[in-house]
Amino acid sequence: MSPNASQTGMLKTQRVNIRRLLARYWMHYIMILPAIVLLFIFAYTPMAGILIAFQDYKIKSGLAGFFNSKWVGLENFWFLRDPYFWTTVRNTLNITVLRMLVNWPLPIVIALMLNEIRYLRYKKTIQTITYLPHFISWIIAAYMITQLLALDGGIVNNFLRVLGINQIHFLGKPEYFTFIIALSAAWKSAGWGTIMYLAALSNVDVSLQEAAIIDGAGRFKRIWHIDLPCIKPTIVILLILSVPGLFSAGIDQIMPMQNPANMAASDVLDIYIVRLGLVKANYSLSTAIGLIMSVINLTLVLTSNKLANILGNDGLF
């Protein structure tokens, strides 16, 4: 049989298999169709806006300006020579790296500790307490943190005054701001992150634990040699997914706690982009910065996934 005939036969077989799948699971495909349409509209269609990064775009021209704006090539990428841009990048990395160092291992530790609790009611109580902050919006959370650390009347400063220690303007000192952001992010998200690790721990073979107990392994040895290796694929995948966040400190957490006194540490890349796009109406420049950041994030994901594969771990693909 010739190669062309063989390929033709394979294509026919694939078409038959696709028809069978469509005939068998057509209701499932109809159910996911709205999600696919929404993904296309809100995730893929806006990618056409990348063209604005190479135009002198004016929003007052409306949709016509998108097609008729003057092409300027790489002129909008002058921000790479702007020292203040690199200042915002430095602030972003200071926050995101510290936040990752705290937020990545903390859910693992909490999940391992919860997994060792045998008293069910006590375990559920702790889970509820740790999960609740996830459902508080950052606006409310920022207000709570601001009131907690307030210079006049804040609980922390009142406690320091009782101890005879000078009050500290926590949100007014740039050197404290990065740590406040990292710790508040850990408080809000660590409990939610434990859900995935607890789900992974629920799949650990009980016979392995029983065999280790018979061999005399203590609790910490069982955690180190059984639990952690079993949830290692989950840890690696979640770490890979968190790597692109290195260049995105976010707006919703930082902006409510930003003030002129801590601008030296709180003016991050996301706020810089919003200021250029929405305040100064420089949409071309803000799009150019967003494009560069997207390319960097994609590179980080591919690199971290490849590194995980080289080290013998299962990555995303």
Q: DSSP string of 134-184?
A: GGS-HHHHHHHHHHHS-TTT-HHHHHHHHTTPPP--GGG-HHHHHHHHHHH
Q: What is the mean pLDDT of residues 196-222?
A: 87
Which of 267, 287, 297 is closest to 92 using CA atoms? Answer: 267
Q: Which amino acid is at 164?
A: G
pLDDT of the residue at 140: 92
Give the contacts of 148 (CB within 8 A, at least 6 positions apart): 154, 155, 156
* pLDDT category of residue 64 using cuts at 50, 70 and 90: low
Between the alpha carbon of residue 298 and those of residues 54, 186, 291, the distances in Å are 20, 25, 11
Average pLDDT over every residue of 230-239: 89
pLDDT category at 13 given cuts 50, 70, 90 is low
Tokens of 176: 């404290």
Q: Which residues contact 159 (CB under 8 A, 6 or more apart)?
A: none
**pTM of the predicted model over 0.85:** no
Residue 12 is predicted with a pLDDT of 61
Architecture in CATH for domain 81-310: Orthogonal Bundle (1.10)
Is the pLDDT assigned to residue 6 strictly greater than 70? no
CA-CA distance, 234 to 232, in Å (whole number)? 5
Average pLDDT on 39-59 reads: 85
Q: Report whether 45 contacts 277 (CB < 8 A).
A: no
Average pLDDT, the chain: 86
Q: Enumerate the domain spans of the chain.
A: 3-71, 81-310
Flag whether pLDDT at 226 surpasses 70: yes
Phi, psi of 102 (to 5 degrees): -90, -45
CA distance 262 to 248: 19
Give the rounded distance of the alpha carbon of 294 from its chain centre. 14
Per-residue pLDDT reduced to its tens digit, 93-138: 999 999 999 988 999 999 999 988 888 888 889 888 888 999 999 9
Q: For residue 253, give the DSSP letter.
A: T
Q: Which has the closest alpha carbon to 286: 91, 50, 71?
A: 50
Q: What angle do CA 24, 26, 29 make, to 5 degrees?
A: 130
